[in-house]
A and B are shown apart, each in its own frame.
Chain A
Amino acid sequence: MRELTFGEAIDKAIEDAMARDASIVLCGEDVPLLRPALYARFGADRVLAAPISEAAFLGAAAGAAMAGLRPVVELYMVDFVAVALDALLNHAAKLASFSDGDWSCPLLLRAPCGGGYGDGGQHGQTLWGMLASIPGLTVVVPSTPADAYGLTTTALAHDGPVVLLEPKLLSAEWLEFLGRGGRETMTFDVPAEGARGAVAQAGEDGAAVPFGAAAVRRAGSDVTICSLAVGVHRALQAAERLGAEGVSCEVIDLRSLRPLDVETVVASLRKTGRLVVVDEDYREYGLSGELAAVALEAKLTPRFARVCVEDTLPYARERELAALPNVARICSAASALMA
């Protein structure tokens, strides 16, 4: 065990895997200086600086993955996947199916996601629902350094394409780079347990976190709150507050959206009969609707509420914070279900 920040945990998992597996190469814009330790250790042959040509380098990475390499691709932000979506949607994600399972595309896409630091609506999206809607992709979003290490480690041994999203609010390095810029005058509502914590390392128990396994972060009997990433921490805070009012919440950290741990969600819903989805992604056509469908398909009809992002994120800080799932919104949604 070692104390690491969220970002360090991902870096470390990549570094450990690169030391084990010479087929891993890392590419992305600015990676020599963004990941200087990897660049210094593995050299320019394995840490490749890319031009601002996401469609080309993500597409090339998918091709390289077909031909024996295991590329890790970094995007500056998940918002920019828009310019390179074809490589994921029509290629990396389709290969296993088109080859009837014979050919796989072991590609890891790492991208910071999410808002909460006032960067505006083109730079604060999560988009995990859109990505997780694609068969053939694995989409994981850790909420703690331990899971960040564990899910990255699993991804780097996985046979198919994986998208690993890194919530910027949890990742001190990104937040400093994009949000604070050395200023003491700027503050962010960072959940401490998500930003820094003990991490099991290679060889230790818990060093790899399996895909499709949710974690129950708090047990409860009245309301099930399903979330991921920053939302988990907001939900835990809300659960604490609701607990004081006599409402017992179970908080499930999904961790992995595709595959989704339906069993854990359904088992909780059987107990509580109430579901609140806390999702930093867009409300319509996404995770929250998906979880409602999961309940219905399990022949359950829980009382249901969702706390999501409802529109393009506004730049103005106060308004952004109000638009993001926050403790007050979660508490009022859960309380309404108890009424």
Chain B
Amino acid sequence: MIENYLIHILILIGIYIILAVSLNIALGYTGLLNLGHIAFFGIGAYTSAILTREGIPFILALIISCIIAGCFGFLLVWITKRLKGDYLALATLGFSFLIYSLMLNLSSITNGPLGISGISRPNIFGYFLKSNFEFLLFVIFIAIISCMIMYAIIKSPFGRLLHATRDDELGLRVLGKNTIKIKYKAMIISSLFAGLAGSLFAHYNGYIDPTSFMLNSIIFIFTIVIVGGIASFKGSIIATFILFIIPELLRFFAIPSHVLGPTRQIIYALILIGILLFKPKGLFGRIDLE
């Protein structure tokens, strides 16, 4: 059914908008080359799946997922606070691998490579979101609230400090600002919302395994942010739509299903390279990086 299919895509778009915008807070606004964002997404997904499996109500599990992901965000800055640029990218990539291998190897709680299945649909104060349509409404609601909060933050005086941290950290310290503290705050916000997106993802899919939170996914969300534009709020949202819809158009060509996955990866890679070559600021970005 075409509507069901549309609803499915829209739910994923809603979840990925939260994920992409939150990555943009760290990567675009604060200038932290963070390749660990997908790990926060995974941490949120696993936390929520495990907690609801143990009988914790969905809403509480969702909140705890955000908090746990936020704690890991804090931890990541604590470990990497002296690093910049390429070194930070490598260290955060290492963090992604670390979390991935924990998901894979802490079998007693994560069920290892088999993943966790049978994750319950959200139950909101006694109301089950059984249909995908209801789930979509819930995702839209959460995505709008999340975007409003993140938008308010980046437009506030604190948001101005994020831009300044990215543009010239030392210059900002000389103006009396503790830039390490600013980075902690930025990363905690960023990871908290990634955890939220992860929780939604787990409860929508009903099944998660470590492969959803690996390199492919890192490249995908980076592509969204870069296509939309570094530090462009609108850009991240629109690019999420574009990057979900373009590969779906492939379905109209009679491409055999077993090459669909690789074709999609190739398309993302081509889009990423094309943007980097011809429009390095992204579709809506105005930020000028050194």
Chain A complexes with chain B = no
